[in-house]
Amino acid sequence: MLGRARPLEWGRGQKALRQEVGRVVGLLRSVRNPTAPALGDWKVAEVAMHLSQAWMAVPGLAGRDISAIREVLPELTGPSLIRELWDLSELTSLGVRNDPERNCSVLADRIEQRAAGYFAAIDQTAAADPRAWLVDGSEVALSTLTYHLLNETVVHGWDIARGDGQRWEVRPDTACLVLEGFLIPVLRALGPRDFVDQVVASRLRATYEIRVKGCRRYMFVFHDGALSVEDPEGQPVDCIIDADPVAMLLVTWGRMHQSEAIVKRQLVASGPKDYLGPRFRGLMRNP
């Protein structure tokens, strides 16, 4: 199933992306300590390099031309970038190693230029047109790639700012756009077991209703290690999770621990099997 977005939503997404590009470019030009730890083994400047490469790869997918990212990663073959989702970490690490540039102002210029090119080239009438995504054989709507870039820019802006000791606010409406415009379509585009921890979820049969404030509701149906993401249709629900959108985004990508969000009442479980609430995040794994 392709992740689709109505034209108004896509317009909101593009507007939000333009704003976030401006914010992250300004952040990068103000970085004080590019060698500070930021994300795993990456320092601030290395996260910035990765973000600049995301701004090569995703616009390339949108334009059906990934020749630019192939110059950095000549190992790439086919219309997508990786054979399976779990090759992503190795690919992104290789990309960062293959380009030695670590001047954050230079990387800011690259992102700004690539964003301008993306917005100039994008077909405003083609929101639902299919495009190959990162993983071989997967497709998403063209609109989803805008939200993919929004996700990369917002989340890695968070990493860079925290590494450099600066403030980085994630707006609730922007978090909703990322969750609905990127995460849900990608979950639907990939295989039913791709994002699921097969050990943790192997014998679970449960339906979660996810209610993120400001977003639509979704059913996450787990069945012996498989996941389907469905629209609410009146089926029985085992556990309801009411979530703050920013907390949901940060917990999803491992930038905030689930227990912190629970203590702050930013993730609240209810329903006949509310004890399943704290298990939800552990059922999913990140590439």
Is residue 86 situated within a structural domain?
yes
Q: Mark whether 46 and 144 lie in a shared domain.
A: yes
The DSSP call for residue 183 is I
Q: Mark whether 35 and 112 lie in a shared domain.
A: yes
The DSSP call for residue 242 is E
Rounded CA gap, 229 and 219, in Å? 6
Q: Mark whether 12 and 129 lie in a shared domain.
A: yes
Taking each helix axis from N to C terminus, what angle separates 142-163 and 7-29, rounded to the nearest 10 degrees?
30
64: domain range? 7-174+184-189
Domain final position from 136, 156, 189? 189
DSSP string, 97-165: HH-----HHHHHHHHHHHHHHHHHH--TT-TT-EEE-SBTT-EEEHHHHHHHHHHHHHHHHHHHHHHTT
Is residue 259 situated within a structural domain?
yes
- Our CA angle for 61, 67, 62, nearest 5°, is 15
Is residue 1 situated within a structural domain?
no
Per-residue pLDDT band at 5 (split at 50, 70, 90): very low
125: domain CATH number is: 1.20.120.450
- Of the listed ranges 8-17, 98-107, 148-157, 234-243, the one predicted with least confidence: 8-17
pLDDT higher than threshold 50 for residue 3: no
Tell me which amino acid residue 63 is.
G
The DSSP call for residue 257 is -
- Of the listed ranges 26-30, 75-79, 99-103, 188-192, the one predicted with least confidence: 75-79
Q: Mark whether 158 and 41 lie in a shared domain.
A: yes
Q: Mark whether 116 and 54 lie in a shared domain.
A: yes
Count CB neighbours of 82 within 10 A.
20
- Tell me the average pLDDT across 168-187: 96
H or E segment at 58? helix 44-62
Q: What is the per-residue pLDDT for 80?
A: 83
Domain final position from 165, 189, 213? 189
Q: What is the per-residue pLDDT for 76?
A: 82
98 compared with 76, residue with greater pLDDT: 98
pLDDT higher than threshold 70 for residue 216: yes
H or E segment at 204? none
Phi-psi region of 78 (alpha: psi -120 to 50; beta: other; left: phi over 0): left
Q: What is the per-residue pLDDT for 111?
A: 98
Is residue 276 situated within a structural domain?
yes
Domain final position from 158, 189, 220? 189
Tokens of 124: 């405003």
Per-residue pLDDT band at 77 (split at 50, 70, 90): confident
Is residue 195 situated within a structural domain?
no
Closest CA to 267 of 249, 247, 287, 283: 247
Q: What is the per-residue pLDDT for 164?
A: 98
Strand-pairing partners, residue 139, are 132
- Tell me the average pLDDT across 264-270: 98
Q: Mark whether 68 and 142 lie in a shared domain.
A: yes
Q: Mark whether 122 and 169 lie in a shared domain.
A: yes
Q: Mark whether 162 and 33 lie in a shared domain.
A: yes
Q: Mark whether 151 and 213 lie in a shared domain.
A: no
223: domain CATH number is: 3.30.1050.10
Q: Mark whether 19 and 124 lie in a shared domain.
A: yes
Is residue 197 situated within a structural domain?
no
* Adjacency order of strands within the sheet including 205-212: 226-230, 217-223, 205-212, 239-243, 267-270
- Tell me the average pLDDT across 106-115: 98
- Tell me the average pLDDT across 253-270: 97
Tell me which amino acid residue 133 is.
W
Is residue 236 situated within a structural domain?
yes
pLDDT higher than threshold 60 for residue 283: yes
Q: Mark whether 262 and 160 lie in a shared domain.
A: no
Q: What is the per-residue pLDDT for 38?
A: 98
Burial 176-208 (b: 16+ CB within 10 A, else e): bbbbbbbbbbbbbbbebebbbeeeebeeeebbb
Tell me which amino acid residue 278 is.
P
Per-residue pLDDT band at 226 (split at 50, 70, 90): very high
- Round the average pLDDT of the chain to a whole number and report it: 94
pLDDT higher than threshold 80 for residue 130: yes
Q: Mark whether 223 and 85 lie in a shared domain.
A: no
Rounded CA gap, 227 and 241, in Å? 17
| Total structural domains within the chain | 2
Rounded CA gap, 91 and 75, in Å? 9
Rounded CA gap, 267 and 248, in Å? 8
Is residue 114 situated within a structural domain?
yes
